[in-house]
Amino acid sequence: MNRSDPTPRVGMVSLGCPKATVDTERILTRLRAEGYEITPEYGEADLVIVNTCGFIEEAVAESLDAIGEAIQENGKVIVTGCLGARRDVILAAHPKVLAVTGPHATDEVMALVHRHLPKPHDPFVDLVPPQGVRVTPAHYAYLKISEGCNHRCTFCIIPQLRGDLVSRPIHEIMEEAEALVASGVKEILVVSQDTSAYGVDLNYRTGFWQGRPVKQRLTELAKLLGELGVWVRLHYVYPYPSVDELIPLMAEGKILPYLDIPFQHASPKILQLMKRPAATEKVLERIRKWRSICPDLTIRSTFITGFPGETEYDFELLLQFLEAAQLDRVGVFPYSPVEGAAANELPDPVPEAIREERRIRLLAFQEDISTQRLERWIGREIDVLVEEIDEEGAVARSAADAPEIDGLVYVANGAALTPGEFARVRVVDCDVHDLYAETV
């Protein structure tokens, strides 16, 4: 590599979920603070870090492919992330990697970078802004409030990869949130493996923020975040009883009226096999209550089709649940065996073709529901966060739309709007996923 500039350069490949994105941002922040340059080009990098995903086998394959590409294009590769917890899998496929670490291992990654690419100097001034280096657009950011998970769902190996729940101190979370807002962030997306469980490992003991005692619990954290004057969106919320306390905050406009709840299934038998809560009727009752308090509440969920033991009857129960629940947004995944997951030992596996066929049927069934839920916005004025301007106008998101996974709002006469800013629009039409609007 022939460069006149001696500054060491690091490339970064980031795969996986928003929690992994936060890990990537922490590594990038440390690298920049120590004087390394970040480059998107393999050929310009002195080494490459690949932050992997290992949740399902498709993600494992994608991660291994990314590692292979980095080795081929650059040659010096450090692997981190969830797949790093399965070191043997990585080394069997790519024995030439420099080193392998597991997830949320910023210190280990930095030590490895120092070993293979010594840092240029110890800076006397901070080389990065207070909010750190981010890979998301300037107007939104993910805020991770905890690591790990105490659940033992039979289809999941996240606790094996990331450990049990470890909540961040509330003052640390709020300091990061304030820095994000000061940098211009308009939307904070709260993420973790189990957002509802925030503070359980701390026994909800009192923390302090700006001299005030505050219980370290999701409700109290949501109230504090709601004081920052930006959109606050909650992801990965398990339906614990405490979730009921969040709905009034949404009705009052403190946080977005949006819940991302991974129900996964509705058949009591399948939920028990998954080691998930199985009281479907109570869930439906709570959804009705939530919507009576906050009529504009958007509920997103994910489901698995073809889990071992799932019969046609179990699948029909799932469809009946969707009809009764009238969820706004639904993601569906055919069951994918994960190495090390307890579900692999369950009897009566469902053939892959049937898993996929049920996924397609569920999505088709949900289409009418999703469309009807969107139709209720037609004729109303709503606030949107502008994402970009293109030749057809503005592309934006509403309070009901999380980035990357939900729909969009297309504003045909919005060419004069500014990306990263809020706008008031009137909804004029919709399709299965998106809204169409005009500026007010």
Model confidence band, residue 129 (pLDDT cutoffs 50, 70, 90): low
- What pLDDT, on the 0 to 100 scale, is given for residue 86? 84
Mean pLDDT (whole number) for 189-201 = 93
278 pLDDT tier (thresholds 50, 70, 90) = low
Q: Which residue has the higher pLDDT, 281 or 428?
A: 428
Is 53 marked as binding a ligand? yes
- Residues in Cβ contact with 86 at an 8 Å cutoff, skipping those fewer than 6 apart: 54, 60, 339, 340
Q: Which residue has the higher pLDDT, 126 or 353?
A: 353
| CA–CA dist 313, 305 (Å, integer) | 12
Say which residue, 166 or 107, is predicted with more confidence.
166
Residue 32's pLDDT is 86
Helix then strand count (H, E) for the chain reads 12, 20
State how far the Cα of 434 lies from the Cα of 27, in Å rounded to an integer.
35
pLDDT classification of 140: cutoffs 50, 70, 90: very high
Task: Tokens for 301, please give them.
Answer: 């969920």
pLDDT average, residue stretch 366-375: 95
Confidence of residue 145 (pLDDT cuts 50, 70, 90): very high
Q: Which of 98-112, 195-209, 323-337, 420-434 has the lowest mean pLDDT?
A: 98-112
Confidence of residue 12 (pLDDT cuts 50, 70, 90): very high
CATH class of 140-376: alpha beta
- Determine how β-strand 140-144 pairs with β-strand 187-191: parallel
In DSSP notation, 335-380 reads: ----TT-GGGG-SSPPPHHHHHHHHHHHHHHHHHHHHHHHHTTTT-
pLDDT at 423: 95
CATH superfamily of 380-439: Nucleic acid-binding proteins (2.40.50.140)
Structural domain boundaries of the chain? 9-116, 140-376, 380-439
Amino acid 121: pLDDT = 57
Burial class (CB in 10 A: 0-12, 13-18, 19+), 302: middle
What is the pTM (predicted TM-score) of this model? 0.74
**Amino acid symbol at 326:** Q
9-116 sits in which CATH class?
A: alpha beta
Which pLDDT belongs to residue 52?
92
Residues 243 and 247: their CA atoms lie apart, in Å, by: 7
At 227, the pLDDT band (50, 70, 90 cuts) reads very high
Spell out the alpha helix ranges (H) of 34-153.
Answer: 57-73, 87-93, 106-116
Residue 386 token pair: 């502008």
Flag whether pLDDT at 126 surpasses 50: no
Range from 106-115, 393-402, 415-424 carrying the lowest mean pLDDT: 106-115
82 is in an annotated binding site: yes
Per-residue pLDDT, 96? 92
Q: pLDDT averaged over the chain?
A: 90
Predicted local confidence at residue 115, as pLDDT: 86
Report whether 294 belongs to an annotated binding site.
Answer: no
Chain segment 27-39, per-residue pLDDT in tens: 998 898 888 999 9
